[in-house]
Amino acid sequence: MAGHLPHTGAVTAEERRPIAREEGYDPLAIELALQPAASTVGDKLGLVILTLAATFLVMFFFPFDRFFKPKAKALGLMTIGGPTIEAHQAQFSTAKERHLKVLLEIDRLYFREGQLTQALQLAKLQLEQAPAEDWEKWQKVHYRYWELLSAAGRIAELKTASGAYLKIRPEDPFANYYYAQAFLAATDPIPSFTKQTRQTYRQEALDVVAQIDRACNALTAQRRHPAAKEREATLAELYQKLKLEQAKTFVFIWRSGGYKEDRHPDVVFRDKALDICESDEIAGRQEAQKLKAAIYTRILERWYWFEGPQEIQGTQHRRKDIAHTLELLKSQLKDSKAS
């Protein structure tokens, strides 16, 4: 066909040029068309060297952590001292105290690099080697260790570690918080327990409630001290979380009784849990609303339509009133989740 170079390999490059000129092709187009399509080995090697050199220069002048630092995993106000990796790195780097250096290394592993397992291993090893007489200095390392155990879902280890610390400081608020959290997580499948197991856990739950009472009293005393004004928000948050764990423990005692009827001796614990959820300091928290909704749901599940009013928190209530309150709670929780 006119206007096209022959499609056969029998015509050499030198023979194609005059044919192409006769056809009227541009000389530059002819030269480009007749050049080999595939790159040579030297071309490929040069490209690899250029790519490696460019990569090295980018890594040297634009390090990844300068522009893409992993965001610290905020654990809320329960985080003791906050992620120290940013705020106190200069101070801790020059500190001679071993426990501060250990805390810095733990935070670097977890908050900066996200290596939870390695951070836990380091914390456990260092706490085992810490001198018994210096346990007060290692307080924040203990706290961080419990936080990481909770984040990792290691319930048995968390209960053992915080429980051992409570033997030394029974009123420590953080030890009580994490021990209660671990206890409730370990006893979640209540229906699977035997009667004897229920009674054993019930007694332990009563001990947890009493421990939290002592810890809350100690926190209240701290909050009244003039020097605690700067820490008021943190202390208030901790107090609220302790009371919520206490309310959950009350619910556990109520549920673990195994009674089918609503009028039984453990109703008092249900009402104590509701009192905490409705208290001025706790009522606005979403966790309190969720717990209250769970309590009302269980009440309604065991309240048949033909039954009359029942006493809840010292007041007679009709079934439809509790059902209406539960719907309002669910609506509020749905709205808060959407916002």
CA distance 82 to 84: 6
What pLDDT was estimated at residue 73?
A: 39
What pLDDT was estimated at residue 5?
A: 52
Distances (CA, A) of 196 to 99, 159, 190, 252, 258: 43, 21, 12, 15, 12
Q: Is there a contact between 158 and 178 (Cβ–Cβ < 8 Å)?
A: yes
Alpha helix (H) ranges present in the chain?
13-22, 27-34, 41-61, 64-67, 84-87, 89-93, 98-107, 116-129, 139-152, 155-168, 173-186, 195-224, 232-256, 267-277, 286-301, 319-338
User: What is the distance between the terminal CA atoms of the chain, rounded to a whole angstrom?
Assistant: 71
**242, amino acid identity:** L
Per-residue burial over 99-116, b if 16 or more Cβ lie within 10 Å, else e, is bbebbbbbbbbbbbeeee
Distances (CA, A) of 26 to 17, 21, 23, 32: 11, 7, 9, 10
Name every residue whose Cβ is closer than 8 Å to that of residue 285 and which is 6 or more positions away in sequence: 240, 244
**196, amino acid identity:** Q
CA distance 247 to 214: 15
Distances (CA, A) of 204 to 12, 183, 248, 268: 95, 9, 14, 17
Closest listed residue to residue 187, CA positions, set 207, 211, 173: 207
| Diameter of the chain measured on Cα atoms | 110
288: tokens are: 């309190």
What pLDDT was estimated at residue 216?
A: 94
Distances (CA, A) of 304 to 118, 254, 292: 53, 19, 20
Pick out the chain residues at pLDDT < 70: 1-17, 19-41, 58-96, 191, 258-263, 339
The percentage of residues in the chain with a pLDDT greater than 70, rounded to a whole number, is 74
Give the number of other Cβ atoms within 10 Å of residue 38's Cβ: 6
